[in-house]
Amino acid sequence: MITQSLRTGLVAFSGLCLATGLFAQTPAAPKLNFPEASPAATVTQHVGLTDIQINYARPGLKGRKIFGGLEPYGKVWRTGANTSTKVSFSTPVKLNGTEIPAGTYELFTIPGATDWAIIIHKNMSQWGAYSYDQKNDVARIKAVPVLLPTTVESLDISFNDLRDESATLNIAWENVRVPVALTVDVKSILVPQIEAVMASGGDKLPYFPAAMYYFENNIDLKKAAAWMDAAIAAQPDQLWMIYRKGLIHAKMGDNAGARAAALKSLELAAKAGGSLGEEYTRLNNALLASLK
């Protein structure tokens, strides 16, 4: 026989189960995505044989005074917003002449009115610069800011002036750009590889790119000329190769060889016609003019 107290308990328990079941069936609130105040960005750049990647957040001016204001002079800055900015180098590099080993680092800066410190710091995966400790610096590099004629609204980290072994890393925001010269070593790595491949006697050797690398970097121009001849022998009607043969001979001081190549390339340009013919007519005439 069910007592009154037991009956009351069962009713309460049934009600609780019913309420719990109803609550469990309530759909979860949809997940919302909000715009980031300082959107995340990734910059990747190949310089020479080196891969570089920078991960940072891009705050905006939003009418504020930044350097000497929001970011005081003489104080460590995360060089962005949110988590500390990170930079990775796949090979050793030099920044304004200071050697940095390959690896992933945090990039801090100390802004100043007339000079900045660029800080390459061990990767501590820290938020902002609140836990920054100078003892973990890998290098501090002096850089000189340049005033800009126009305003940069969002912090911008980019690369420019790209060459085989160098580039300029730019940090720009407000009315300031801070350039940092970045250099990499290509010759000591690539030249032995080129020599080994070209001496291998294999099929389809990279005669043209090898010749152009030696030409552009003033390395054994006689080899560059021989490799260009081999490239042309495989594709005798390539006017652009023959034009570059003329450039190699001109750099060697062989004006007669340069003139002969330019005239041959001009002949092929006339046959080609169109924009290609026009381009190489102009280039070869300029080469011939330089030989006089």
Paired strand residues for 95 = 98, 182
Is-contact 223 207, C-beta < 8 A? Answer: no
How much is the pLDDT for 170?
98
What is the set of domains in the chain, with CATH numbers?
40-183 (no CATH), 187-290 (1.25.40.10)
Torsion angle (degrees, nearest 10) of CA 51, 57, 58, 64: -140
How much is the pLDDT for 25?
60
Helix 255-272 to helix 239-252 angle, to the nearest 10 degrees? Answer: 160
| Cβ within 8 Å of residue 139, ≥6 positions away | 95, 98, 100, 119, 120
pTM of the predicted model as reported, rounded to 2 decimal places: 0.79
What is the spatial distance between Cα 225 and Cα 245, in angstroms, rounded to a whole number?
7
Q: What is the total residue count of the chain?
A: 292
Q: In what order do the strands lie in the sheet with 166-183?
A: 98-100, 93-95, 166-183, 146-160
| Cβ within 8 Å of residue 131, ≥6 positions away | 124
What is the spatial distance between Cα 88 and Cα 55, in angstroms, rounded to a whole number?
9
Q: How do the pLDDT tens digits run along the chain, 292 residues long? A: 445 554 444 444 445 444 444 445 667 888 888 899 999 999 999 999 999 999 999 999 999 999 999 999 999 999 999 999 999 999 999 999 999 999 999 999 999 999 999 999 999 988 989 999 999 999 999 999 999 999 999 999 999 999 999 999 999 999 999 999 999 999 999 999 999 999 998 788 999 999 999 999 999 999 999 999 999 999 999 999 999 999 999 999 999 999 999 999 999 999 999 999 999 999 999 999 999 7
How much is the pLDDT for 29?
83
What is the spatial distance between Cα 139 and Cα 142, in angstroms, rounded to a whole number?
10
